[in-house]
Amino acid sequence: MTLHAKFTEASPAERFSRRYGGPVEITPPAWNETLDILLAHHSVRRFLADPVPAGTVETLVAAAQSAPTSSNLQPWSVVAVEDPARKARLSLLAGDQAFIREAPLFFVWLVDHQKLRTAAFAQGREAQALDYLESFLLGGIDTALAAQNATVAAEALSLGATYVGGIRNKPAEVAAELGLTPHVFALFGMAVGRPDPDAGLEVKPRLAQEAVLFREQYGWGAREQDAVAAYNPRIRAFQRRQRLPEQDWTTQAVNRTAGPQSMAGRHVLRDVLQALGFPAH
């Protein structure tokens, strides 16, 4: 049984219930395989050693290139890493996460301004707008949109994937490992492969929509605080089933945002970006 076939046994109501960790009253206007794949998403951190089928990399990149891109600038690139030694080195740079080594395919998604600067240079012009924060933000957005398309495509092919923000822990070292030129930044990684069927394929509950959905205007108050409080026992129940350390979402969020000491070295990212040729303004 494939990864997706296992999940499609669920009804839409069950799918929403799993996503939020309890019954919810959501009636979709229609239901199809795309919605089923999206609602069934979960990160995969245990992979079989099997290589991905031939044509997988190209198919996922084609899906990524089908994502929206601002002004058709396409300011991203991706490095597909399958060499075990290179994956091992990247794993160490990204927090020594074993699943990076185990996954048969590891993507590193790049904000790539070099191609835009090269285009300007070929016309004898400068690309001064790339020196502004907006251009880097645009590149990050477009890269994330592309990578999410690739994730959905991977899951449609019965593969699993998980994002790796730890690739930003040591950006200069990652740049050296991948041979990145100035004006190219490794934004995040993505491990891809066939999920280990014994790993436990459970969807992690998310905050209720009362904590994220606002109508017409934003406003954070008692309703939203109550939704967060109600989420804490649901996430602890998930952790218990997965045999993970139990911790409220609020405690986890506060710990991860406490200060520079909680950022795994990424608190110096501004300086690193400037050294790599990114925003001065």
Buried b (16+ CB within 10 A) or exposed e, 154-190: bbebebbbbbbebbbbbbeebbebbebeebbbbbbbb
Residue with tokens 């409220």, as numbered in its chain: 248
For 103-143, what is each residue's pLDDT tens digit?
999 999 999 999 999 999 999 999 999 999 999 999 999 99
88 pLDDT higher than 70: yes
Task: Using pLDDT thresholds of 50, 70 and 90, give the confidence band for residue 210.
Answer: very high
Tell me the C-alpha to C-alpha distance, in Å, between residue 119 and each of 20, 124, 243, 281.
46, 9, 52, 22
Mean per-residue pLDDT, 228-249: 93
Contact 154, 55 (CB under 8 A): no
Global pTM value: 0.93
CATH no. for 45-202+265-275: 3.40.109.10
The reported pLDDT for the residue numbered 8 is 57
Task: Using pLDDT thresholds of 50, 70 and 90, give the confidence band for residue 264.
Answer: confident
> What is the distance between the alpha carbons of residues 114 and 117, in angstroms, rounded to a whole number?
5
> What is the distance between the alpha carbons of residues 185 and 271, in angstroms, rounded to a whole number?
13
- Per domain, the residue ranges of the chain are 45-202+265-275
